Amino acid sequence: MNDATNLIYLGSLAGTVVLMLGIGVWVARRRTSSGEDFLLAGRSLSTPLLLGTTLATLVGTGSSLGAVGFAYENGWAGGLYGIGGAVGVLLLLWLFSDVRRHGFMTFSEEMSYYYGASRAIKGVVSVVMLLASVGWLGAHIMGGALYLSYLTGMDPATAKIVIAVSFGLYTVVGGYLAVVITDAIQGTILFLGFTLLAVLALVHVGGFEGIGRDVPDEATSMLGLEAVGVLPGISLALVIAVGVLATPSYRQRIYSAINVRTVRTSFAWVAGLFALFAMLPAIAGMAARGLEPGLENPDMAFPYLATTLFPVWVGAFLLIAGLSATMSSGDSDAIAGVTILLRDVTHLVTGRLPKAENMVALSRVALTAVLGLALLSSLMATTIIGYIELMISTVLTGVLVASLLGKFWPRATWQGGLASLIGGSVMALLVHNISAWTDFWGNPVIPSMLAALVAGVVVSLVTPRREVSHEAALQMLAEERAELDVGTKVRNESTDETTAASGEGRTSQDD
More confident site: 99 or 139: 99
Distance (Å, whole) CA 72 – CA 65? 11
Average pLDDT for the chain: 79
Strand segments (E) across 100-140: none
489-497, long-range: CB within 8 Å, 24+ apart, which pairs?
489/34, 489/36, 489/42, 489/43, 490/43, 490/103, 491/43, 492/101, 493/100, 493/101, 493/259, 493/260, 493/261, 496/43, 496/44, 496/258, 496/259, 497/258, 497/259
Average pLDDT over residues 137-162: 77
179, pLDDT greater than 70: yes
pLDDT tens-digit map of 375-385: 776 655 555 55
Distance (Å, whole) CA 164 – CA 104? 28
Which of 36-50, 82-96, 273-287, 384-398 is modeled with the greatest confidence? 82-96
pLDDT tens-digit map of 268-287: 999 998 888 888 888 888 88
More confident site: 337 or 114: 114
Distance (Å, whole) CA 283 – CA 198? 6
Q: What pLDDT score was predicted for residue 416?
A: 96
Domains of the chain, first to last = 7-382 (1.20.1730.10)
Average pLDDT over residues 473-478: 89
Label residue 387 by pLDDT band (50, 70, 90). low
Distance (Å, whole) CA 215 – CA 75? 7
Entry pTM: 0.81
Q: What pLDDT score was predicted for residue 228?
A: 84
pLDDT tens-digit map of 236-256: 889 889 989 988 888 989 998
For 439-495, the three-class secondary structure string (H helix, E strand, C coil) is HHHCCCHHHHHHHHHHHHHHHHHCCCCCCCCHHHHHHHHHHHHCCCHHHHCCCCHHH
More confident site: 445 or 219: 445
Query: Among 114-123, 197-206, 471-480, which stretch is predicted with the lowest mean pLDDT?
Result: 197-206
More confident site: 183 or 83: 83
411, pLDDT greater than 90: yes
Element spanning 338, H or E? helix 312-340
Question: How much of the chain is in helix, strand and coil states, percent to nearest 5?
Answer: 85, 0, 15
pLDDT tens-digit map of 90-124: 999 999 999 999 989 889 999 999 999 999 999 99
Q: What pLDDT score was predicted for residue 377?
A: 66
